Amino acid sequence: MAKTKVKPSQEQRKAIRDARKLIQEAFDTDNNEAETRRRVELIFGSVMGYDVLKHLSRERAVQGAGEVEHVDFAIQLEPGQDVQPIVMVELKRVGIELAKKHLKQVTSYAIDAGCEWILLTNGREWKVYHVEFNQPPKVEMLDAWNLLEDKTDELVGKFEILSYRLIKRGGLSKIWTRVKVLAPSSLLSAIVTDDTFKVIRRNLRKDTGILVGREEVYKGIGRLLNEAAAKAMSTIKVPQPGKRARKPEPNEKEPTSKQEE
């Protein structure tokens, strides 16, 4: 999940506590969507630093393949229907549990508007997604949190992801880039290299006296991983040694078969 380096101030902690009280009251009385929206908009102002009248476009029209649809509201840096939205926000009543159909709904709005960020919330749960415009488009979660259950200091950092201060500096894209760098496929590509295999083989031989091959190391690493990482690893080719002759390591015999190499 995404992380931002935030040292919470007393004012930020109070803003979170006040926001939690707003949503808890709404949840306890099972408020309707209109009241949920009013309270969520207050949170955008008090916790995330937006000028609600300027930076939130209510019921923004989205032209798709069929009829014109309306997203609950969009986060944008300037007012106006022609301004490119930064985040499409789909809001549900506080008592409704967020579901896949809600994500599918707002994803279609985001794709039609060319917007790569989505926020799905009912005031209690907050889920941020990134849309990658491939064929077909790919939607991945950036982060998620629960205003009523998570710790106050953690929530300060979570809400900072969507803050006006960070949005106006293009912070979402920077966070997403770091998330992708640390994704299993990226980490595995960095691990499964000829240099790494040399170090592993050398250390194994030092500890056990047995020289193992690259394929054996590759399969051994795969057995250490969970299912998702193992699937990602299956797409990475085992590195082959270059044409340049490798000097034997100290006390190591020249390999006599492909398995040894």
The pLDDT, as a whole number, for residue 260 is 39
Look at the chain and report how many structural domains it folds into: 2
Q: What is the mean pLDDT of the segment spanning 218-241?
A: 70
3-state DSSP assignment of residue 135: coil
Same domain? 95 vs 140:
yes
In a domain, 221, yes or no: yes
Burial class of residue 10 (count of CB atoms within 10 Å of its CB; 0-12, 13-18, 19+): exposed
Residue 109 sits in a domain of what CATH number? 3.90.1570
More confident residue, 204 or 219: 204
198: domain range?
184-261
What distance in Å separates the CA atoms of residue 221 and residue 196, rounded to the nearest whole number?
12
What distance in Å separates the CA atoms of residue 204 and residue 192, rounded to the nearest whole number?
16
Same domain? 144 vs 128:
yes
The half-sphere exposure of 164 on its side-chain side, counting CA atoms within 13 A, is 18
The pLDDT, as a whole number, for residue 226 is 67
Amino acid (1-letter code) at residue 196: T
Same domain? 188 vs 175:
no
- Residue 94 C-alpha from the chain's centroid: 23
Which band of pLDDT confidence, cut at 50, 70 and 90, is reported for residue 236? low
- Worst-scoring range by mean pLDDT, 19-23, 192-196, 232-236? 232-236
Same domain? 173 vs 193:
no
Q: Are strands 117-121 and 125-132 parallel, antiparallel or unpaired?
A: antiparallel
What distance in Å separates the CA atoms of residue 157 and residue 159, rounded to the nearest whole number?
6
pLDDT above 50: residue 179 = yes
Q: Tell me the percentage of the chain whose pLDDT exceeds 90.
A: 43
CB 138 within 8 Å of CB 146:
no
Same domain? 125 vs 206:
no
The last residue of a domain, from among 121, 156, 181? 181
Same domain? 38 vs 152:
yes
The last residue of a domain, from among 181, 198, 222? 181
In a domain, 102, yes or no: yes
**In this structure, what token pair is assigned to residue 170?**
């293009």
pLDDT above 90: residue 146 = yes
pLDDT tens profile 2-47? 555 667 899 999 999 999 999 999 999 999 999 999 999 999 999 9
Same domain? 217 vs 245:
yes
| Token pair 């099972």 in the structure block, residue | 30
Please provide residue 75's backbone torsions phi and psi, each rounded to the nearest 5 degrees: -85, 125
In a domain, 249, yes or no: yes
More confident residue, 85 or 134: 85
Which band of pLDDT confidence, cut at 50, 70 and 90, is reported for residue 228? low
- Worst-scoring range by mean pLDDT, 38-42, 94-98, 186-190, 255-259? 255-259
- Residue 186 C-alpha from the chain's centroid: 15
pLDDT tens profile 54-84? 898 887 767 655 667 777 888 988 877 778 8
3-state DSSP assignment of residue 205: helix
In a domain, 5, yes or no: no
pTM of the model: 0.72
The last residue of a domain, from among 138, 163, 181? 181
Q: What is the mean pLDDT of the segment spanning 235-241?
A: 66
